[in-house]
């Protein structure tokens, strides 16, 4: 079980993690939370209807990681618009869509990262070196979302845009300062892949 998720009775998943792995995942999840930002202020009125129509930002984030986590919904970034009018229309649609969806997207990503932190904090260690993390089907879905976000974030920092970029990074020499981040990217990808497999019917 070490290093990958396995299916457990009841539809959940389990993985053996050592102390270092637990520390890395928790640290990355905390960093992701800090990057996404806090939720609504504690003094915000608990009016579900007001929250539903609360407006978010209309401009794309300046941070490349946040741009990867919250991409524009309209238009193909690889294709240049056919005319200035088309470009303006694409920007207007993207801004409108972002204004009404980004707050919810941020809340969902925040919830996924918090679920990862909580499940790791509740992990009963087998010994000093780690333990076996057991997730319910619902917790597995939170983890899947968080693992995806963590890989997107690391991929953005490494400037991975396609498989060719990833292949080049995999062959980096050990002394390259990006190597630990690449190894984390690969390891999280393996965890994500095996967790997907456990959730398949």
* Residue 49 domain flag: yes
* Residue 1 domain flag: no
* Residue 141 domain flag: yes
Burial annotation 49-81 (CB, 10 A radius, 16+ → b, else e): eeeeeeeeeeebbeeebbebbbebeebeeeeee
- Distance CA(67)–CA(45), nearest Å, equals 29
- Residues 20, 24, 27, 30, CA torsion sign: negative
Q: Which domain holds residue 173?
A: 6-199
Q: For the ranges 12-26, 105-119, 156-170, 185-199, which has the lowest average pLDDT?
A: 156-170
Number of structural domains the chain divides into: 1
- Distance CA(9)–CA(76), nearest Å, equals 43
- 14-48: pLDDT as tens digits: 999 998 899 999 999 999 999 998 865 544 555 55
* Residue 185 domain flag: yes
């Amino acid at each position: 079980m070490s290093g990958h998720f396995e299916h457990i009775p009841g539809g959940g998943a389990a993985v053996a993690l050592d102390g270092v792995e637990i520390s890395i995942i928790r640290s990355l999840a905390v960093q992701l939370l800090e990057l996404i930002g806090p939720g609504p202020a504690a003094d915000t009125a608990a009016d579900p209807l007001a929250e539903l129509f609360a407006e978010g930002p209309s401009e794309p984030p300046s941070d490349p990681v946040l741009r990867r986590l919250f991409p524009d919904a309209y238009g193909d970034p690889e294709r240049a618009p056919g005319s200035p009018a088309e470009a303006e229309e694409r920007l207007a649609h993207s801004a409108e869509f972002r204004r009404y969806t980004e707050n919810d997207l941020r809340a969902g990503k925040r919830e996924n990262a918090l679920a990862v932190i909580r499940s790791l904090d509740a992990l009963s260690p087998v010994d000093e070196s780690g333990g076996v993390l057991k997730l319910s089907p619902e917790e597995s879905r939170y983890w899947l979302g968080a693992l995806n976000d963590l890989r997107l974030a690391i991929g953005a920092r490494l400037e991975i845009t396609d498989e060719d970029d990833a292949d080049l990074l995999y062959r980096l020499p050990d002394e390259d300062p990006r190597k630990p981040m690449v190894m984390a990217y690969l390891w999280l990808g393996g965890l994500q892949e095996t967790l997907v497999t456990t959730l398949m019917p």
